[in-house]
Amino acid sequence: MTTHLVVGAGPIGSTLALYLAGRGDHVRLLTRSGSGPDHPGIERRAGDASDTAELRSALDGAAAVHWCLHASRYRADTWRAELPSLEAGVLRAASFVGIPVIFAESLYALDAGEQPFTSASPIAPGSAKGEVRVDLLRARRQAPVRTVSIAASDYFGPFARANAHAGERMIMPILRGRTVRPLGSADQPHSFTYLPDLAAAMAQAADIPTLDGLVMAPTAPPVTQRELVEEYARAAGVPVPAIRPLPSRLLRWAGRVHRDSAELAEMLHQWERPYVMDSRADENRLGVAPTPPEEAATATIAWWRETVTRA
């Protein structure tokens, strides 16, 4: 039985841990509190991933490490302060035992460039947060160990809750018959990555020894936020709610006095204009295809009704 170390039990880490355990692997899931999904194949371990000794202990016997941690806040200065040192630690630990590191990645390092984004796109960050991602990708390329960065667009699916644009902010109003208030435009094409497809790609990346660098997660063709709301409503069997985007000018104005609003406003270009990736070449390399949108929406709504609204 192959052992995989998954670091972090947020939406990506939890989905990946369940995917790996479901295919018969042994998963060691490392978090500060020892939290994570309950499954016979998942060994939950409490530990600090920034502690070299604890990380090396958790790596014992693992065939790969999957890095699903992120910064404590959605702020460029926090990313800059926390992420490089954390990733340097796992790269050192993995090189010590000679195993690959699979990273969950975003499109931020590419998003000022020509679309659709692919794994061959030139680096072109459109924000301070994107510049941090560029530095992280560079450090991974220079590490003395195989690294694969699986880039996803905004994700949705089971476990995607408060911090996901297509999570709580979109789904709860649909289920309650209230107005949905997306960012930017409701009618620009936008790529959304289904979390189980990202998990499948990360698992496959560990298993393909010739794969390295930036790889696009399997992602269905782009839809507008309006179309995604309609797909969710169909899956839920409810009327399509009113959709009134939050005015961008108000968010930018709020950003003058509120730091978190400013950090969000910095990324409005992703929602006011097309934001499209093309994963087809990498789907062939990974042997993973995106889940059909209607199937993904149905599974997502079912999870919300079973897990969240009944809680």
Q: pLDDT per residue over 7-28, tens digit each?
A: 999 999 999 999 999 999 999 9
The pLDDT, as a whole number, for residue 198 is 98
> The tokens of 243 are what?
């959709």
Q: What percent of the chain lies above the pLDDT cut of 70?
A: 99
Mean pLDDT lowest among 99-103, 238-242, 253-257: 253-257
Report the CATH architecture of 3-159+192-220+275-290: 3-Layer(aba) Sandwich (3.40)
- Lookup: tokens for 22: 């479901």
Q: What average pLDDT does the chain have?
A: 96
159-164 average pLDDT score = 90
Q: How many C-beta neighbours within 10 Å does residue 4 have?
A: 25
Average pLDDT over every residue of 188-215: 98
Contact predicate 23/168, CB 8 Å: no
The span from the CA of 120 to the CA of 124, in Å, is 12
Residue 61, CA distances (Å) to 69, 98, 263 in order: 21, 11, 40
Domain boundaries, the chain: 3-159+192-220+275-290
Residue 31 has pLDDT above 70, yes or no: yes
Residue 255 confidence (pLDDT): 85
Confidence of residue 162 (pLDDT cuts 50, 70, 90): confident
Number of H helices, E strands in the chain: 12, 9
Cis-peptide, bond into residue 292, ω within 30° of zero: no
Residue 308 pLDDT: 80
Q: What is the mean pLDDT of the segment spanning 97-108?
A: 97
Cα 20 to Cα 155, 182, 203, distances in angstroms: 19, 33, 7
Provide mean pLDDT across the span 156-160. Answer: 97
Distance from C-alpha of 17 to C-alpha of 30, rounded to nearest angstrom: 10
State the average pLDDT over residues 206-219: 97
pLDDT average, residue stretch 268-285: 97
Do 121 and 72 meet the contact criterion of CB atoms below 8 Å apart? no
The band of 311, judged by pLDDT with boundaries at 50, 70 and 90, is low
Cα separation, 251 vs 7, in Å, equals 34
Q: Where does the pLDDT of residue 79 fall: very low under 50, low under 70, confident under 90, or very high at 90 and above?
A: very high
| pLDDT for residue 257 | 86
CA distances from 258 to 36, 162, 263 (A): 33, 19, 9
Averaged pLDDT, 58-67: 97
Give the C-alpha separation, 151 to 132, whole Å. Answer: 15
Residue 293 has pLDDT above 70, yes or no: yes
Describe the strand order of the beta sheet including 147-151 as a list of residue ranges: 42-46, 26-31, 3-7, 64-67, 101-105, 147-151, 213-216
